[in-house]
Chains A and B, each alone.
Chain A
């Protein structure tokens, strides 16, 4: 039986318009900097701005630190839970989901009071300490995505058998973790990493309240003071997000291909 396709097409058309018009408008707006002509002036100004370079570099660095420390914390934990402490899984899963429940603004509000200069661990007292706190904060925000990705990856391989096989061949724990487990969850870790990068790179709330020179606060500064540059930055941010998601897709597809090839 043939049903009318009018409704679905209409939904698609409205959706496409709603999603594309702001992007087109932003791009158009970003080209208006020079009066009477379209130009890439806004991009030139933004990209040449030393504060852009500094803040983007800073956020990239923090993002990489977040990913590395997150992976080092989460992969062994998830592995160990799968291998030895399965009865702790519900508790750990619950904890990893909490950052979705507790808004970031609340978490950082808590940090400001627990790690200020008069507390036991005065992380906020020094810039390096605050950088560390920001990284930990981002690890917390990324926890649900990172843990979920790694856990799914671990469940899709038979961790116990792999471990026993490696043990029977005489491998030690370090070898097992870094030579056997990590490579097998590489794809899952990578997709978690790119998602983390996308979340961290433009993050505003934590960086702003911890007063770090990150890309998010820079965006806010430009947004409050300039006309055309914010649009250019929005396009840049969109491209970065798109690139992260694209990389996740590419790596995901690679995995499917190799799985099928096995």
Chain B
């Protein structure tokens, strides 16, 4: 997904010396971007600050603190934080195992290919897969019941719940982490470890003083990316829980279908809230990534 290089330190836009008619070549692109990306988004952003008659108001922003909406944001953020953190940690161990663990060579390309697939295997099919695995008649549920004598659902577990959704999101979060973090781990030079060792450091001291600080920006940045990634996901949650789980993307989906909030402008504010949250975490990701790359040059 976002394993692309982000040239974060956006160069200052140099003054066009002699634009002539060269700019005509990019007109189609800008027209497209304005029509299908910028304008619809701007429309929502402006709409969040308007009442039904088009007058300026902060009412919609204020009403985001209504219990239903606030709760939706809360659950959304909780799920996203949980799946991002767990995905980041497991993804890190998996990437570290394959880069630094001294495992057989063929494992690495195999894992990377699989991660490429799994990070794009989201949405409804993924929901179906987890229903078939951990649903009431799912394979794992049945195997646990029949062979281990452990009734998963008696513990209060439900794949249609917070835990279930988090566990499902991990299926694309972990691979994404592996894909983005592997180059960062490759950037750890063997000489750093050796220099640390020869200066008297133990393996743990090397990790504590060198490797972890060096990886930290990449790790944290990617975690933020994972957060945004699950925060905006609709299809997986919808496929798994229908509209039973009150999270922001589902609420916005319902609002798009039929104005469940009975106030279009409040719907815009809901969308604005999403943009702000994903925008902030993506922005922080880009910033942290630039920091990490500066070191690893």
Contacts and interface: CB of A to CB of B under 8 A. Distances in A.
A89 B14 CA distance: 11
B153 interface: no
Nearest to B11: A90
B118 A19 contact: yes
Most chain A CB inside 10 Å of its own CB: which residue of B39, B113, B124, B279: B124
A50 B203 CA distance: 61
A30 interface: yes
A25 B131 CA distance: 9
Contact of A112 (B2, B4, B256): B256
Nearest to A199: B120
A23 interface: yes
Looking at chain A, what size class is its interface with the partner chain?
Answer: 35 or more
B253 A105 contact: yes
B261 interface: no
Given A15-B94, A76-B25, A87-B13, A9 B242 contact: no
B130 A22 contact: yes
B213 interface: no
Nearest to B242: A224
A123 to B, nearest CB: 10
A11 B128 contact: no
Contacts of A262: none
A204 interface: yes
Contacts of A242: 117
Most chain A CB inside 10 Å of its own CB: which residue of B25, B90, B100, B114: B25
Contact of A234 (B14, B98, B128, B242): B128
A180 interface: no
A74 B39 CA distance: 19
Contact of B43 (A7, A114, A144): A114
Interface in A50-102: 73-74, 76-77, 80-81, 84-85, 87-95, 97-102
Nearest to A115: B40
B211 interface: no
Contacts of A204: 123-124, 234-235, 238-239
Interface stretch (B63-71, B184-192, B267-275): B267-275
B234 A7 contact: no
B249 A136 contact: no
Interface in B254-297: 255-257, 264, 267, 271, 274-275, 278-279, 282
B120 A195 contact: yes
B269 to A, nearest CB: 12
A14 B89 CA distance: 13
Interface string B98-114: 10111100010001011
Given A204-B235, A230-B131, A94 B125 contact: no
A199 B93 CA distance: 27
B26 A19 contact: no
Looking at chain B, what size class is its interface with the partner chain?
Answer: 35 or more
A101 B113 contact: no
Nearest to A94: B10
A238 B122 CA distance: 9
B234 A8 contact: no
B150 interface: no
Contacts of A137: 36
B124 A220 contact: yes
B231 interface: yes
A29 B138 contact: yes
Contact of A245 (B120, B140, B233): B120
Contacts of A74: 29
A93 B16 CA distance: 18
B33 A106 contact: no
A101 B32 contact: no
Interface in A1-49: 3, 5, 7-9, 11-12, 14-15, 18-19, 21-26, 28-30
Contacts of A22: 129-130, 132-133, 171
B7 interface: yes
Contacts of A223: 124, 127-128, 239
Contact of A144 (B4, B26, B113, B121): B4
Nearest to A97: B6
Nearest to A244: B120
Given A105-B253, A204-B124, A87 B16 contact: yes
Contact of B125 (A8, A145, A202): A202
Interface pairs A-B: 9 shortest CB-CB: A8-B101, A110-B40, A103-B232, A25-B139, A29-B132, A8-B97, A237-B125, A80-B25, A25-B133
